[in-house]
Structure 1
Amino acid sequence: MSGRIRVLVAEDDDLLRSSLCELVSSDPALVLVGEARDGEDAIEAVHRLRPDIVLMDIRMPVLDGLAATRAVCTSASTARVLILTTFDVDEYVYEALRAGASGFLLKNASPYEIFRAIRTVHEGHALLSPEVTGRVIAEFAARRSRQEPALARFARLTDRERDVVAAIAEGMSNEEIAGALFLSRATVKTYLSRLFDKVGVRDRTQLVILAYESGFVDTLRS
């Protein structure tokens, strides 16, 4: 199992959960460590089975996926949550990401898209369904009110680190950032790790949310 990505499937629909489990098991780079039928089961399974990735449904009984995601992402667990839902609704996307999810895909995504999403999120990148990415960023900008305490968390950044945050906020990949800023991809990764520590976030998704909600993106554009 060494090197394989450990995946937990949390989905209340028996047929869909079974299909997702079979899909995960079909990829030799992944290992299915367990499944959960509701949010409470998912939280317990995360602590017991220590997955790398949780495929999390939003609407589940007992405890919904948003609350379960929030619990997982504020715990000591290093698991990253990838939301799977049938609901292409901005409110769900926004709240799932604020809860700590690293990615968001619709349930009609192809097996290739799901496999790619798992790998992308496992590598520490953000992943949103292309249909909703633009609207989510617009939602951040429209909904946030300037938060001075959060903005202060960006005060210690160097000019180059500010450039990297600006690129991430525009949705650039590591490779695109490297090209735009004339850096190596390894250097970009180093900058990202340093940014996460300085600002106090766990991944680039949370960095983007904080940058928009605090008003830091506005300072970059002024």
Structure 2
Amino acid sequence: MIQVLVVDDEALVREGFSHILNAADDIEVVGAVPGGEAIRTVRELRPDVVLLDIRMPDVDGLTVLADLRRIQDPPVVAMLTTFDTDEYVTTALRSGAAGFLLKDTDPEQLPHLVRTLAEGGPVLSSKVTRTVVDGYLDAGLREPSAVRLTDRLTGRERAVLVLMAEGLANTDIGDRMHLSTGTVKGHVSAVFSKLQVSSRVQAALIAERAGLLTPPKDEDAG
């Protein structure tokens, strides 16, 4: 059972997300609280995943994220936002957020996205714009360039990075590459170190900028 904490100052948002997620057989919302109660609740309930509003009147969501990242064995945190071009999104990604979701995310997709987060996969809303991705990269990952960063990887580490960027969890990567989960974890740690990142979504964005995720062009039929 995946345990989730929803942190948002709007009661309607908390209730809506809780209702949707609790309808899934494998997900339980263990708490739904305003921002000021987030840290205490996480320490008490130890959820697997936290859905955290990026903009709250009583406490800054980015401050809460930073505090959560300092907790021993911290939960996976995805940011909630109303705007796909929110300027705070790039800061959240650099600060270790596992991704972000728009509050109008399709309810049918929400449980799947939470499962992806719990399995260690990166989550970016389908409405993420080029501005958000480019803004993240402009903010500190152009020097050294993404290509230069990925050139540091071994062939196997590069393969792990691509599968990680596709949203696969460590167990799935292991199955795909015929490796043990422990070996995959070692490669993921090496990728993080060489790319100078702290989350899978950061690594995925570098992989995209380096051209590792570009699908092959269709050949002309004639």
Q: What range is the shorter-chain TM-score in?
A: 0.7 to 0.9
CA RMSD of aligned residues (A): 3.5
Whole-Å separation in 1 of the counterparts to 2:137 and 2:8 = 31
- Where does structure 1 lack aligned partners over 5 or more consecutive residues? none
- TM-score, normalised by the number of residues in structure 1: 0.74
1:197 aligns to 2:189 (yes or no): yes
Aligned to 1:78: 74
Q: 1:192 to 1:91 in 2, by over 3 A?
A: farther
Using the TM superposition, give the Cα deviation of residue 94 of structure 1 relative to its aligned residue in structure 2, in angstroms: 1.1
SS of the equivalent of 1:17 reads helix
Aligned residue type for 1:9: V
Aligned to 1:26: 23
- TM-score, normalised by the number of residues in structure 2: 0.74
Query: For 1:51-130, what aligned pairs fall within 5 Å after superposition?
Result: 51-130=47-126
Aligned residue type for 2:4: V
Could you list the per-position Cα deviations for residues 37-87 of structure 1 after superposition, in whole angstroms to 9, with x for gaps in the alignment?
Answer: 11x311111111100011111111332212111211232133111222112
Whole-Å separation in 2 of the counterparts to 1:163 and 1:28 = 33
Aligned residue type for 2:2: I
Whole-Å separation in 2 of the counterparts to 1:52 and 1:26 = 17
Query: Which structure dedicates a bigger proportion of its chain to helix?
Result: 1
Aligned residue type for 1:13: E
1:6 aligns to 2:3 (yes or no): yes
Question: How many aligned residue pairs are there?
Answer: 202
Q: Is the 8 A contact 1:46 1:77 kept in 2?
A: no
Q: 1:57 to 1:140 in 2, by over 3 A?
A: closer
Task: Find the partner of 2:166 among 172, 179, 185.
Answer: 172
Could you list the per-position Cα deviations for residues 141-177 of structure 1 after superposition, in whole angstroms to 9, with x for gaps in the alignment?
Answer: 33325269xx89x95x433213433x268x43449xx
Q: 1:10 to 1:146 in 2, by over 3 A?
A: same
- Where does structure 2 lack aligned partners over 5 or more consecutive residues? 212-222
Whole-Å separation in 2 of the counterparts to 1:15 and 1:164 = 40
Whole-Å separation in 2 of the counterparts to 1:98 and 1:29 = 30
